[in-house]
Chain A
Amino acid sequence: MAEATEFDAIVVGSGMSGGMSAKELCERGLRVLVLERGPEIVPERDYSDQLAPWETPNFDNVSQDEIKQHYFRQYPGVPYALKESNKDFWVKDDEHPYEEAEGTRYEWLRGYHTAGRSIMWSRQTYRLGPQDFEANLREGVAIDWPVRYEDIAPWYEKVETFVGIAGSEEGLSQLPDSVFQPAFELTEAEKAFKQGVETAFPGRNVIPARVAHLTDATEEQRSLGRSNCQLRNRCHHGCVFRAYFSSLNATLPAAERTGNLTMVHNAIVQSLEFDSETNRVSGVRIVDAETNEARTYSSRIVFLNASAIASAMILLQSTSESFPNGLANRSDQVGRNLMDHVSGAGAAGIMRGFDDRKVFGRRPGGIYIPRYANVTENDKPYSRGFGYQGGASPLGNANGQIPGIGREFKESHRRPGPWRISIGAFGEQLPNPNNRVTLHPTRRDRWGNPIAVFEVRYSRNEEIMLEEARTDAIAMLEAAGCEQISSGPVNLTNPGNRIHEMGSARMGRDPADSVLNGWCQAHDVPNLFITDGAFMTSAACQNPSLTYMAFSARAANYAADLLAEGVL
């Protein structure tokens, strides 16, 4: 039987945002094709979360020679998540090269397979606040967002109800509450830290991290085969309980059960074909990753969800007479304003008084300190702000790095030991049109596609902000009575390292200086939507996946409306 090549909608990418786009479009009754550039992941076969420590050799470490040969960029970026038993979730750097402009560094950390990086993410889940959509306008930075918090709030609610987020209601204006399932309660040391910080610094809050884990699964979630988190901390390996959110655990099965989903793997999108007569994308050209065979699929609407970098590259690769500089790029903003979050500042210390306490279970998230800079405190030598992620836990056996031998040494591992708290900042990076990804003029990958060239630098604002974040972190640990406070010099993470790349096809009101309108719809090409991180007009400081999904759901329903009305 010949494979169908015509659909109502094509979604490029099956990760965090692509899964949500596909689900919403399928549920609106559209026949949807999802194109995934990598191979299929089958949970029962490919998840390695059920392995006990003694079922993997070498502490589940990838051999040092193999890292040097295949994972020389991925592993240093995510040593906590790239293991022998899940290494196939990460790209091999020698097979997927990229370049950096002289004097710059970029970490492009990726997984090519069903559900993309939604399988390996760290699941921190926060709404943006009203201030985040207003900051550019207020400060005269870049361009104004064409939407406000009120526009997206109902979509956050819809998405959160489906996703499942463990968190606590705090009533903070800058970090609006989500639809929550019960939070993972703070440890006693964290509660003491919270009290110390909130007493010394009114306007700062220490709250349980908000994570996309089920703690009170709904009927809908159970119907998708999902159940509550089992506290194993094996999430980077997949989850047979489907307890944390990923496309594979939730949105793709939901799309699948509508009967409207077609999924094609190993389909690397090379370009979008443009029909100048209708002013529409008329086809999606792909090359098969395994056979190198070229094919074209067509549909009435196209959603790019390939990730901010890959979506921009697809546009840049899609040149035509109408768009010599890349599809939907009359503004010349495609590939520009590439942002990430910035870390590299924090502090750790010992909390006394809890040595007779320990925990049961391996919790997926710790504490979060929502942004206070330029929200509740307005005396800062920098703009925007940062949140801290962290937690307090028993120091434990420190992998044998404590004195002693024999019975006493052996049995000391049963005791939790002193409690250590650590916090690290996630700061907002300002948009800058000179921070960009472009196509290499000559170098191609094995499928004949141009490789990416990155040129991204932090601004002085990020540097000052992170210095201040370090000072603030020490002050909060001191206020909470910590001992042995340690805080290395600020060492900014390389751009890309936080794996929150965004901004490369920003939304705005004016087609002259933005790629997308407020519905994530290309100004220049009405049947093209981009709802991965590319649309972000500014970065905020919150982990962005939830925002990508909320905008995906909103754009998908808008596009479905336009189709129903015959506009598209």
Chain B
Amino acid sequence: MDTTTIKSNFKSEEYFINMGPQHPATHGVLRLLLTIDGEIIKKVEPDLGYIHRSIEKMCERDSYQQIVHLTDRMDYLSSHINNEAVCLTVENALQLEIPERVKVIRTILGELTRLASHQLWWGVMGMDVGALTTYFYGFRDRELINDIFEETCGARLTMNYNIPGGLMFDIHPNFVQRTKDFITHFKTKLPEYDRLLTGNVIFQKRMKGVGILSKEDAISFGASGPVGRGSGYSCDVRKHHPYSAYNQVTFNEVLKTEGDSLARYQVRIEEMWESMAIIEQLIDNIPEGEYKVATNAVIKLPKGEFYQKVETARGELGVYINSTGTKNPYRLKFRSPGFSNLSLLNHIAVGGKIGDLVASMATLDLVIPDIDR
């Protein structure tokens, strides 16, 4: 008997299992329809819509100032950057000249948001592979950023700080000092992350060579952000299409070519260093000036189509506005990073174990409201 006939004599039965919409690994209401053979994943089908709130449709009803506030609720961990994306689109359409001060503050706050998001991701990532302690370390440092936001924006999660034309109000007098203090603090704490999790043998074994995504696949699936860059796909919007003050700073686009879970993990860790470098370059020379330019109380965009993309903590967020010249957009579409990144989950998880699926999903850093909108 050759090996194939021996194998066919053993009956292996695939079965179906429902992961979610309420499951600890899916971080929200993502539902995964898994086809499993023993422990081996045969097929992953994400089922979306459990937190769909038709934000895009609501945008057609709202004025441009109101739309900004809806975007907080998409990718709530990058809420500041989401706000910025809409504001930039509207400002570009109106061809407003934005003061340098606004641009710099937006960039600093954007990078702080990215840091906070990556810290939370790191904590949850550890939890997904079973190291529960990381969660509290991540949250300890994130708390300091939230405090800075609380002081300046008045909110800790849904910032609502950007408005078309600038910022809602000026930064708090403590902002510069507190941000500097945070950077000094976090520079000593980030190596702790590596000591606690990255270097761990079990962690390395869990991540290395798991959930491999090639550069070609990353491009064809539309991967962006750390997921794309972990596969060697240079897709940093801040680098290729600089917006706000990103053309004034020097930073490296972190690229890894391995394409496995560990690469995506390391990209985020190194991005935290880069974010701190960006903030350090800007924090000491925030230009003086106005914190907003006056806009009409009712903003009417000119007739036409406008598109602006920004780099959120998860990847490329695109805002497409189709305007007919009224005070509401005719159609508004968000290109969310999470949606494209989720689409490649089946590709990277098939053939792995259930544990691998959870670990790879954690490195995609999914925020479900961002996918469903």
User: Does A pair with B?
Assistant: no
Interface, chain A (partner B; CB < 8 A)? none
Interface, chain B (partner A; CB < 8 A)? none
